[in-house]
A = this chain, B = another copy of it.
């Protein structure tokens, strides 16, 4: 359910690297050429292009991106060129460094990647920053958020489909008790959300809804301004329904006074090869306007062209 389109005949990595070199060289950068290549190669192909570029020109492709491109377009191309695990490590690093309670990058990385993908992010973090992800998360967060985020980013959730229904019942009850007591940061809530498998959590949240008459996220909306509650809802939504979660992030980022380009970029870049098709469909249903039209309205220039190439245009 990716949205990127890869041509049926793909040039060799060194041909692509040559073309990119030409696009960066000389007086004006040929952004269209860069987009026509990179936006239409999958992660494995981009990795080979980056390797070929380094082999032939003795320079990291990202260096050229850094020197020749600017602003939102530069950032989008940079993130897109990185390997998914390196990219997530970078996003996690940035959001840890300037961490604030509304940050969603860590939650997304912890909750919408597979267990093995999250592991690769943690290894890429070691390689790039010479520290561990959890070390930085623990050092830059405090109190309830630390209690929540450290186990979240270190989890290696079991990914089998096995579900223990009596456990789902008892933990739904436990969650309901704690929520009723407004003990939102209780260690039992955190334990359940950060350690149980996604299949088990689905069962628990279903039990919760059946038994107590509300979806858990509705009960977690007691105080819409509470940032910790909002983080709990983001965790639950990104686990149970990632495409709806991401649709909402894009919707809010576009509808803001002044588009939040960082969030739009992050979601499109990280999902274009995963579930962007579902996010686009959801966006249309929810907003009665196609995502590509919304993007066209809110962005400009090469940045716009690049995002549109990644999400695919409906008439394309």
* Residues in chain A within 8 A of chain B (CB atoms): 119, 122-123, 126, 130-135, 138-139, 146-147, 150-151, 154-160, 162, 187, 191, 194-197
Contacts and interface: CB of A to CB of B under 8 A. Distances in A.
B195 A130 contact: no
Contacts of A126: 156, 158-160
Name the prevailing secondary structure of the A interface residues.
Answer: helix
A132 B156 contact: yes
A156 B195 contact: no
15 contacts: A122-B156, A126-B159, A126-B160, A130-B162, A131-B158, A131-B197, A134-B151, A134-B155, A135-B195, A138-B191, A138-B195, A139-B191, A139-B195, A151-B151, A154-B156
A275 to B, nearest CB: 24
Given A138-B191, A195-B138, A132 B154 contact: no
A139 B119 CA distance: 22
A154 B195 CA distance: 10
Nearest to A133: B156
A139 B191 CA distance: 8
Contacts of A162: 130
A146 B187 contact: yes
A203 to B, nearest CB: 14
B123 A156 contact: yes
A196 B139 CA distance: 10
B187 A132 contact: no
A260 B73 CA distance: 65
Contacts of A134: 151, 154-156, 195
B157 A154 contact: no
A105 B145 CA distance: 30
A130 B158 CA distance: 7
A124 to B, nearest CB: 11
A160 B131 CA distance: 8
Given A139-B191, A146-B187, A197 B132 contact: yes
**3 residue pairs, one from A and one from B, having the closest CB atoms:** A154-B154, A135-B195, A138-B191
Nearest to A134: B195
Given A123-B156, A146-B187, A150-B151, 11 more contacts: A126-B160, A134-B155, A134-B195, A135-B158, A135-B195, A138-B194, A139-B195, A146-B191, A150-B191, A150-B195, A154-B155
B132 A155 contact: yes
A123 B122 CA distance: 15
A144 to B, nearest CB: 11
A13 B186 CA distance: 53
Contacts of A139: 191, 195
